[in-house]
A and B are shown apart, each in its own frame.
Chain A
Amino acid sequence: MKIDCHSHVNGRRQNWGWDHNDRLIDAADKLGIDKLCCSIPIMSGMPKPDEIEICNDDVLECMRRYPDRILGYCFVNPGYVNESITEIERCVIKHGMMGIKLYNQFKCSDSIVYPIVEKAIEFGIPILEHAGYITDPEQALSQPKLSHAGDFASLAEKYPEAMLIEAHIGGGGDWEWAIKSLRHSPNVYLDTSGSVIDEGIIEIAVRELGADRLVFGTDMTMEGGVGKVLAAKLTESQRESIFWKNMQIILDKKRV
């Protein structure tokens, strides 16, 4: 059993490089992934509520098309606080989405994000946020409000009841820095996704944080995402926790 906590589907505003969302299901079938938690974030600028609604509607369409396979995150821009809360209520209560997706419009520790975190706590749902500690100055410049593990730690301390998932340990720069920064933040989970498949990354994360704080993800690097968890020297119980149990525990906490 595998639950991919970090995936994406194509929509009207975003094509990730495949021709039809059936390809995502085919890929999941080939790699033994049972469920994919998907979103369509807008990755630049300050997207407006009507643009965001289109993205979330396209995720909802996929949830309807593949009801046993696709779960949805509601993407919002915290810069539009009231509209974000309304959109979360629409997507989660009315249409059954499982979580909230934030991108790089604001650092997660910015107070503008607090109402969204409080809504996630109220609903018992996780927040998956794009993240990274980019050490290459040129690349770091392109995402000035990218949240890093220290920002997550700070938010987690303020909201210990929140379930925060820091995205793609393998796609967010210096992963050793990220892992160490989260040692004392028990309500921050790390998602294993990303194109970086550095040998040892999973074992080091387990050693520092424990297997209960890692959730399997691909972020569309499908073979790498599955392969790194299969390759890691873990007990079968730890591997199961990472592949699906930890995410299932998170999903089961939903209250609405």
Chain B
Amino acid sequence: MIIDINAYIGHWPFRQLRHNTPDGLLRLMDKNGIDKAMVSSINAIFYRNSHAGNEELSDWMKAHRDRFIPFATLNPRYAEWKEDLKQCHEEYGMIGVRMFPHYHNYKLFKDEGLEMIDFATEMDMVISIPIRMEDRRQRHWLDNVSDLPLSDVESAMRACPEASFIILNGRGFEGSSLFKDENLKNKNFLIDISRLSVVLQREIPKLIELTGISKIAFGTGIPFNYPTPSLLKVQILDASEQDKEALLWRNALGMIES
């Protein structure tokens, strides 16, 4: 079984995506042996009222709940976001919230950011944080957003010790407090492998040496990215079958069931 913790549905305003409808994404997943995917709405990042994107996602998900694990996207600076998040959880069955502080103009580790993490955690929702959506070197002139510093995520984790985090599209973890600081590395978090390597710089093997396999999970970034690089990484990773299973699905499942 494979669970992709880093997938999206919807329209990206700055580049034409393919496979970005529910059926398209399912076909891409089927072609690549991906059984389930944690998905959120790309549209919701850009709508002033993000919740409209969650409503769309909820409609799209209805026929495919066996394959998609939906995440809400909300802006904690927008009106009545708490009611919206509650609806996402209770009515739409969304098990987590993806936060985009760099697109929604707030700090993850201050005021609104922490309020959303705490509120979601009270409902047992997982916090998912994409460090970036696109490489800055190719950014559209209207997409004036920098990568989220890993230190912002670390600060939020320190401030919200009970929360569960999924960190996406990140790198540079091996020197970070996340994997060095005893307080942080024992927190409930997962990182995805979409920007990490197995060979040469060996980021994935080095992280496994630091904490074991328990903090790493399979993620691709579809439909932004080709899924094959992540599949190749698992294929060539020198690890036991048990560890590969943990990476491919057990860690992800553990996170949403915990």
Chain A residues with CB under 8 Å of chain B are 16-18, 23-24, 26-27, 30-31, 132, 134-136, 139, 171-176, 195-200, 220-224, 226-228, 230-232
Contact = CB atoms under 8 A, between A and B. Distances in A.
A222 B197 contact: yes
A245 B18 CA distance: 28
Contacts of B233: 223
Nearest to A178: B138
Contact of A135 (B16, B19, B139, B225): B139
State the majority secondary structure of interface residues on B. Answer: loop
27 contacts: A18-B201, A23-B202, A31-B199, A31-B236, A139-B137, A172-B137, A173-B138, A174-B138, A175-B138, A195-B195, A196-B138, A197-B226, A197-B229, A198-B15, A198-B226, A199-B19, A199-B223, A199-B224, A199-B226, A220-B201, A223-B199, A223-B230, A227-B226, A227-B232, A228-B228, A230-B232, A231-B228
A159 to B, nearest CB: 28
Size bin of chain B's contact surface:
20 to 34
A32 B140 CA distance: 35
Contacts of B170: none
Given A31-B199, A173-B138, A227-B232, 12 more contacts: A136-B137, A171-B137, A195-B135, A196-B137, A197-B226, A198-B224, A198-B226, A200-B16, A222-B199, A226-B229, A227-B228, A231-B226
A101 to B, nearest CB: 19
A243 B15 CA distance: 26
Nearest to A203: B18
Contacts of B202: 18, 23
Contacts of B197: 221-223
B200 interface: yes
B149 to A, nearest CB: 15
A171 B225 CA distance: 14
